[in-house]
Amino acid sequence: MSKTPKQHVPQSVDQIRRGRNRVLALSLGAFVVLIFFISIAKMG
């Protein structure tokens, strides 16, 4: 993907990015589920 890799260890950088994306996705999903349950609780 990158034409000129500047990092000496690209695998660790990829792992860090992967972990950060996973945390971001999990927090976003939890937020959506929380909003969903709050809206259901307000309806009922």
Q: How confident is the model at residue 6 (pLDDT cuts 50, 70, 90)?
A: low
| Class of residue 36 by CB neighbours under 10 A (exposed 0-12, middle 13-18, buried 19+) | exposed
Given a cut of 80, whether residue 5 has pLDDT beyond it is no
| Each residue's pLDDT tens digit, 10-44 | 678 889 999 999 999 999 999 999 999 999 999 97
User: Which pLDDT does position 44 carry in this prediction?
Assistant: 79
User: Which pLDDT does position 11 carry in this prediction?
Assistant: 73
Regarding predicted confidence, which is higher, 4 or 22? 22
